[in-house]
Each structure stands twice: as structure tokens, then as C-alpha cells.
Amino acid sequence: MKKPPKIVAALSISAALLAVLPILYLGLRLVQGFEKAIEELLRFRTIELLGNTTLLVLAVTISALAVGFVQAWLTTRSNIFFAPLFGVLAAMPLAIPSYVMALGFISLFPGFSGFLASWLVLTLSTAPFVFLAVTAAMVRADTATEEVARTLGLGKLAVIRKITWPAVKPAAFASSLLVALYVLSEFGAIALLRYDTFTRAIYNSYRGSFDRTSAAALAVVLLLITLLVIWFERKYRGDYQASPKALTKRLRVDLGALRLPSVALLSLVAIMGIGLPIISLVSWSVQGAASLDWGNLIAALLVSMQLAVSAGLLIGVFATAIALWSVRYRTKLGAFIETVSWATHAIPAIVVGLALVFFGANVTPWIYQTSWMLLIAYLILFLPNALSAISTPIAQVSKSLEEVSRSLGTPENKTLFKVVLPIAWPGIIAGVALVSLTVLKELPATLLLRPSEIDTLATRLWSATEDLAYSQAAPYALLLVIIAGLPALALNSQARRALTEVSS
Amino acid sequence: MFRRIISAGAVLALAIGLTACTSADETESALTVYSGRSEALIQPLIDSFEETTGIDVIVRYAGSAELAAQLLEEGNNSPADVFFAQDAGALGAIAKAGMLKTMNADLLALVPAEYSAEDGSWVGVSGRVRTLNYNPEKVTTLPGSVFDLAESRWRGRIGIAPTNASFQAFVTAMRVVEGERKTLQWLEAMKQNAVIFEKNSAILEAVETGQVDAGLINHYYWYARGKELGFDALTSKLAQFESGDVGNLINSAGVGLVSDSSAAVVFVEYLLSDFAQAYFADATSEYPLISGIDADVDLVPLTQIPGPKVDLSDLDGLEQTLDLIRQAGLM
């Protein structure tokens, strides 16, 4: 069996070991209070939470998949007006943390709450995950097959179903998994919109009661659901397809009479996902501008950017190593390590935070309440996001290129660095950007692990929303959107670049 | 080349991380305070404390319950010297875990005994009262007791925040005074009647905007809003229940010593000084607890609040309270 380079193995294994920490912590808590944990799980409330959570996860995943796929297809495969503009708009909600979006809706429509509200807000927040992944896959895939199918008389919908969909299915499923996991661990928006899921119950157990055992019991159930979701995705995503770079001119389907309705549809999604929250934030910011402490704002901005950039690079390095091992070498250990890093994604950030508080204060006090601790938390929390973005481009590097390189006498490890990584490089950069964005928005673990007296934009925003001081929170929220918005655009311009490369 | 970029990236990331964490190194000689009270409220006081005493203070701001959970996880390795909490329950939980040093008798003597822990593990700093916040257009006859809210005519009209520490402290008091059975029955009725909110301020907002007719909140939220917008601009009013009713619980925000640091004692002395007590009375509309400092003029004097007979040290039995709240399906 082929072995990965030592550096790849070392990085992967240490990331996986860190990812296991929260699970160890949960185990410890459960052993300490086993009977209480069982009692907690046997309550009717657990079933109620299970129902609520499942309903929301399924609903959001399906709708985000539908919205993201339609956006991707319309902007890359159809002759819709302003396709590049709509592409940018489709990715934009990525820059708006879901709790900020929820806040925007609530401050515009008082009484906006419950299942439908949570479903709407989370669908708008997560559809960009699907859109970006599917767009990237569509741009890479060759349209020649679709053209041939159409010449042979296959209808437009049939082409989508039989040719386009199978080609982008791995990307669509991997990003849907991300959506499902996002919903499973989402707290901020759901708490604001007052819909009860497992994550909210876990948070409330901690926050309201210092009750760590029942929270741990619920977290274990959440972890099991996640494993189920991951198993499901593995089973149905199909194999990654290595496709040769599309060389033919890109074919765009004529929408005919549906051209304007399609514009209306994409506009509606953009207005809901970007327009409304931004209008709300701007108007609250104007109200709050007079009493804003600019020194605090700038300090928080610097801290946020520093953390996001360091965490993005750090996680990018680890994720690339794991992706190389699990995708290019396909060993059992590599696959296992990939699964471990995914599994912990369902553990709510507050559990990861508390686990690191416990280990940090008691095992590694010299880095406790320093930025190192935060970076470790971000690594545990966001490795899956980076893996999802980085695995696909690494998998799509054609095996034959590697074989050619080896047949020319290049040692295997050198081939990895000379051939595989350079080709996958744009995808890896996209992964790093995606992770930096997510780090900017992270709240619960940051609150627990940040060095004392260090505040990020998100923690400042949180303290203000705790007091329902929307006008105090809005400038931070707006700045967060602007700062996180820039990488989102960069991410998407990469998709645009691929698009122009193919169509020129 | 790409390998070089990767390693350069890693080095860069680590370097940035390092510079970012140097700020934590100052902690060595300074006093570390975990504050469950908000930065906007406490920081001015901290600044003047640093100026007066020359002691450097590092403050960690978060919710009282989050900080309590954090302290419990940190155990004996906690960097905290002082825990300044929003309510007696959070302090009680930390005291129960044996993490608080017994407070000096001189300090305890400054505050009436009913507002501190009986065993001297923490001392009360300011007082707050549970009240009924109501819309006078919708509520014409006030309920005599908090138990009246269990009647079916209150269905869908009353706002509560079951995950909020102040509400939980009040339920704990109800359990202590009225017993488990009666408390559970009341909570189950609330499951039917109440609209659930995350916090007091959200309830006040909902009563003001007419989303609910009344709510159970701490007194100072209403006064803070009145001061901000003018009392005439408020739609809602405050009322107490009849004398001795548990719905009138008087709770205190308090402070406990986590380490043996002498600076920590100086800090507690400062919080109980005339200056700090007057600051609390003025800035938050809470009740000062030391003698000689008057509460905000708009406030009903603390001595006239018909509170229940409860020992605040008994409010640490939070676990049983949470069991009941959960059993009733409220969280």
C-alpha cells in the first residue's frame, strides 16, 4: 500500500487527535453522571427535541439544495440576464452570519419567530454553500456530453436530470452535508427566532444551570445524528469524478419565456437574503452611530481579522494534509481520520469551548486564555468546512497526470507537491477563504476561550444583542458583513474566473 | 514552490497567533475579575478603581451562568481572583463546589445579612426586585399573587423567561417557600399560559409593544427604559404582588473571592464603598445595600417592597429547580 509523506501523516493525525478532545470530554462528563444522563434522555422532551431538530434539518437541507442548485444552473448554464451579477449575489449571504440575518428580520418584523422563520433564515444563510460547490463543479465539468444529449433529442429537464445532475452530485451532496451540519449546530439564529432544537437545549442547560451532565447527554445524541447524516452522505454521494478540463465553448441553454421569471426568482432570493438584512443593519447603524465607541470598534476589527487570517491559514494546511491522505491515497486510516474530523463538527461550539476550557486550564495552563487556544478551537470546529472545499479539487486532479509524472521518474512525494497541489491550488485557496469567513462569524467558542479583555466583532455584537441594543449591535454587524463580504466576493470571483476561462 | 508557500503560510499564522496572545501575558501581577455584569456598567467603575488603587485589573465579561460553568471547568486552576455575578444562584453554585474563600467578617458586616450568603462565601453588592410588568389598558385587575397567573384567563397573555437566571432564582424561592408540588403545578400552568422569551428585556419589549399583556421581570429593566425614553413614554407599569408573595423576591447581585489575592479583598471593599454603591443606584436603578446610600428617587424604597421570607443562600439548589422547569416542559 502507498504511504503518504510523513508531513502529511503528522499533520493529519495531530488534527484528528485534537478533534477527538471534545468527544473525550463528553465521555468524561457522562461517566461522572451516568444515571443523570440516562434520566435526561428518557424524558419526553428528548423526543420532542428530536422531532423539531429533524424537521428543521431536513427542511433546510432540501430547500438550500434546491435554491443553491437552481442559482448555480441559471448562472452557469442558462442565458439568464446579468448572470455574473446574480452569481455574486447568490454568494453574498455567506457574509451575513445567520444570527445577524435573524436579527435583521426580527427588527423589521416584530414577532417573526418559530419553525417557518428559522427555516427561512437558515435556508437563505446556507444556500450559498450549495451554490458555490455546484457552480465550481459545473464550471469544471465538460458541457460536450450535455450538448450531445440535446442533439440526440433529450429535453432540457432530462439533460439536467440525466447528465448535469450526476456530474455535480458529489459536490451537491458534500455541500448539503455541510448545510445539514450547520443547521444541527446552529444556535444564535434559532435562539433569536425561538425554535427549540437540540443545540439550543444544550446551550440552555449550560447557560441556565451550569448543568454539564444533561447538556453532555444531549450533545451525545446530537453527535449520533451527525454520524447518521455523514453515513447517509457517504452512501449516496457517489464517487468523485476526475474530469478532463473542459475545452469546448460553454453551451448556454435558452430559457425562452422563462428568462424574466428566472430573473424575478433570483432577485427575490437576493432581496430576502441580502437586501432586507442590510437595510435593517444600515438603518439601525445610522441610529447608533452617534453613541458608537470607535476605539472599541477598531480594536475589535483588528483582533477579528488577525484571528480569521491565522485560523484560515492554519486550518488550510491541516485540511490539505487530510484531504491528500484520504483522497489521493485512499487508505483506511486516511478515511478514518477524515471521518473523525467531520464527526466533531456536530458538537455545538459551546461544548468544544468548554472541553477546551477544561483541558486548557487543567492540562495546558500555559496557553489557556491565549489566542493559541482559540486557534485550536477554530481548527476543531472548522476543519470540516475546509475539507469540504479542499477535497473536491484534490480529487479532481486526474490520476493519469500523476502517473505520467511518476513514469518520468519523479518520486511519488515530489509528484504530490509538483503536480497535484499546484493543480488543486485554486480550490485550496477557496477553502482557506471560506474558513476565514466562518471564523469571523464564530461566537460561542470565542466567548469562552478568548483572552480576557480581547473582543472580536462577533463578541461585541453579542454583548449588545444580549441587551437588545440593536443600534449598538448594528455597526459591528455591518462591519462584520463588510469584512466577511470581501473574502466572499474573492471566493466567487474565482468561480467567475473559471467561467470566463471556459467561455472565452 | 508550493511547499514553500505552505510552510511560509504556517509560519505566518503562528507568528500572528503569537503576537495576538502577548496581551494575555500581563495577567501575572494583575487582578482578574470574572464579571457576569455587563461591560457598559462595570468598566467605568473598574477604571476608577485602577486609578484610585494602582491595581491593574483584567476583566472577563460574559453571562453569570457561562462564567459559573467556566469556573467549574477550570477548577483550582482558574485564573480568576474574583467572581462578580448577576445573581445569588450562580454564586451559590460556585460556593457549593467549594471554590469560594470565606469573606472577611468586616466586609460581610457592611451589608444586611439577608442579602449575602449565610456561610459568608459571598457578599451582596446590589439588590433587585421581581415585579409584574403590565399593560394597564389590558390588565385592569392586578393579580394578588403570582399563583393567580395560573388561572386560565391568563392564557397566552403573560411573558416569562424560563432560561433566565433571575426567573430561575425566583422559581427556586417558590420551591423553598411553597414546596415542590405547588411549584410544579404553577410551572405546568405556565406551560399553558405563558409566552416564552429568552430574557427580561425581551419581555419588557413585548409588553410595551402589546405582544403580551404582562410579564415577570426584574424592576430595573423598566426603570432603565424609563430613564432612556422618559417615564411618560412608557406604556407599561410595574406592580408588586401582595405582601410576602414569592413573586416579589428580593435577590442580590454579589461578589465572591476565588483566590487568596489581597487585591481581591481591596476590590470587594471598593464595590461596597459609598462611591460604588451610589454609582450602582444611579447607573442601574438597583438598590444599594450599604447603609447611608439612598436608592434612586423614582424607586419604591426597598424596605417597602413586600418581599417573601427567603434565605438567599437557599437559592443555590438550582438543580432541583431546573428539574421542575424541565418536567413542566418549559425548557
B38-68 residue pLDDT tens:
888 889 999 999 999 999 999 998 888 888 8
Could you give the dihedral angle defined by the CA atoms of residues A37, A39, A40 and A44, in that order, rounded to the nearest 10 degrees? 150
Model confidence at B186, pLDDT cuts 50, 70, 90, reads very high
Q: Residue B237: beta bridge partners?
A: B134
Is the pLDDT score of B13 beyond 80? no
> In A, which residues are within 8 Å of B87 by CB distance?
none
A contacts of B14 (beta carbons < 8 Å): 310, 314
Task: For strands B122-134 and B237-239, give the pairing.
Answer: antiparallel
- Cα torsion A6, A12, A14, A17: sign: negative
CB-CB: which of A361, A447, A463 is closest to B39?
A463
CA triple A77-A80-A85, angle to 5 deg: 95
Q: For residue B201, give the nearest of A307, A425, A468 by CB distance.
A: A468
pLDDT at A486: 59
CA B256/CA A432 separation, integer angstroms: 44
Q: Which of B58, B60, B168 sits opposite A208 (nearest CB)?
A: B168
Tell me the pTM: 0.76
| Closest chain A residue by Cα to residue B204 | A468
Interface of A with B in 286-315 (CB under 8 A): 303, 306-307, 309-311, 313-314
Alpha-carbon A341 to chain mean position: 14
Lowest mean pLDDT among A487-491, B124-128, B289-293, B303-307: A487-491
Amino acid code (one letter) for A322: I
Q: Is the pLDDT of residue B144 over 60?
A: yes
Instruction: Say which range, A236-245, B20-29, B140-149, has the weakest mean pLDDT.
Output: B20-29
Average pLDDT of the residues in B24-41: 76
- Closest by CA to A129, choosing from A477, A444, A479, A388, is A388
**Closest partner CB to B205 (pick from A316, A370, A468):** A468
Chain B partners within 8 Å of A48 (Cβ) = 329
Neighbouring C-beta atoms of residue A21, cutoff 10 Å: 19
Q: Are A307 and B20 in contact (CB under 8 A)?
A: yes
Q: In chain B, which residue's Cα lies nearest the Cα of A11?
A: B10
Contact at 8 Å (CB) between A210 and B318?
Answer: yes
Share of residues in chain A with pLDDT > 70 (%): 89
Asked if B61's CB is within 8 angstroms of A463's CB, the reply is yes
Does A354 reach chain B within 8 Å, measured CB to CB? yes
HEC string of A138-184? HHHCCCHHHHHHHHCCCCHHHHHHHHHHHHHHHHHHHHHHHHHHHHH
Measured distance CA(B252)–CA(A292) in Å, rounded? 31
Which residues of chain A neighbour B16 with C-beta distances below 8 Å? 306, 309-310
CA distance A164 to B311: 70
* Closest Cα in chain B, distance from residue A438 (Å): 17
Residue-wise pLDDT tens digits, A271-302:
999 999 999 989 888 887 877 888 889 999 99
For residue B20, give the nearest of A191, A306, A447 by CB distance: A306
Tell me the backbone φ, ψ of residue B215, rounded to 5 degrees: -160, 160
Per-residue pLDDT averaged across A154-177, rounded?
83
A420 at B interface, C-beta within 8 A: no
Residues 6+ apart with CB under 8 A from B183: B171, B174, B175, B324
Could you tell me which residue, B96 or A212, shows the higher pLDDT? B96
Q: Which one, of B22, B28, B131, B14, lies nearest residue B81 by Cα?
A: B28
CA–CA distance, A430 with A487 (Å, rounded to integer): 9
**Measured between alpha carbons, how far is A375 from B72 in angstroms, rounded to an integer?**
23
Partner residues linked to B239 by β-bridges: B132
Q: Does A114 touch chain B (CB under 8 A)?
A: no
pLDDT digits (tens, 9 = 90+) for A385-413: 888 778 888 887 777 777 787 788 777 77
Which residues of chain A make contact with B224, given a CB cutoff of 8 A? none
CA B274 → CA A287, A384, B270, B292, distances in Å?
36, 54, 8, 8
Does the distance separating the beta carbons of A451 and B24 come in below 8 Å? yes
